Amino acid sequence: MKRYYYLFVNATTIIIFSCVPVRFGVTLKSLTHPYSSSVNLVMSENQKKIRIDKWLWAARFFKTRSSATKAVQGGKVHLNDARVKPARTVNIGDTLVINRNEITFIINICGLSHYRRPASEAQLLYEETEESVLQREGQREMKRLLRASDNPPPKRPDKRERRKIREFIRKS
């Protein structure tokens, strides 16, 4: 079946949809849900840049913009191997290093979006490096092995054992 391109012009973006032919007057919601096969964001000249905290929020690395801002201010996010402020703009092709809860993501920016879209569309905004994927797998395996080697006590301490524990803690 032949594919056609349809344009939806918003006040801030132009979105190009590659989809099967539909009748005139179809809304954006009906285009994106059942018929579209891919979504590409094309930015105008003045919108090729976006704040790093907003991009992290739109790419779903953080739940809120304020948590993304705190992470950038705290030095958890580096742009092209440099510590940045939340108002710093990102471009397509930039490299980000994101540290979240002892997990490090090394990603290349492939797209820009001002809006928080579904996770399937947010994953199109970046590409994770092979090095990052292997590093995360190694960290996951290391945690699993540490958990397996840790032997918890067979049961909870009873009343007498709790008294002995408190007595021992007070003495030291």
Instruction: Say if residue 114 is in the same domain as residue 144.
Output: yes
Q: Indicate whether 160 belongs to any domain.
A: no
Position 48 scores a pLDDT of: 72
Question: Model-level pTM?
Answer: 0.62
Distances from the Cα of 104 to the Cα of 128, 129, 140, angstroms: 11, 11, 11
Q: Answer yes or no: is 73 within a domain.
A: yes
pLDDT greater than 60 at residue 96: yes
**Res. 15: pLDDT tops 70:** no
What pLDDT score does 80 carry? 94
| Within a domain: 169 | no
Range of 19's domain?
A: 4-42
Task: Answer yes or no: do 21 and 105 share one domain.
Answer: no
Residues 79-101: what's their mean pLDDT?
Answer: 94
Tell me, what's the pLDDT at 45?
46
Instruction: Indicate the number of domains in the chain.
Output: 2
Residue listed under structure tokens 């704040």: 51
CATH of the domain at 137: 3.10.290.10
Residue 87: pLDDT band (50, 70, 90) is very high
Domain shared by 54 and 123, yes or no: yes
Asked whether residue 36 falls in the same domain as residue 115, the answer is no
Q: Are residues 80 and 35 in the same domain?
A: no
Query: Which of 17-31, 58-72, 77-91, 126-140 shows the lowest per-residue confidence on average (mean pLDDT)?
Result: 17-31
Q: How far is CA 171 from the centre of its chain?
A: 48
Q: How far apart are CA 142 and CA 145, in angstroms?
A: 5
Judge whether 159 lies within some domain: no
Residue 15 CA: distances (Å) to CA of 9, 57, 58: 7, 20, 16
Single-letter residue type at 163: R
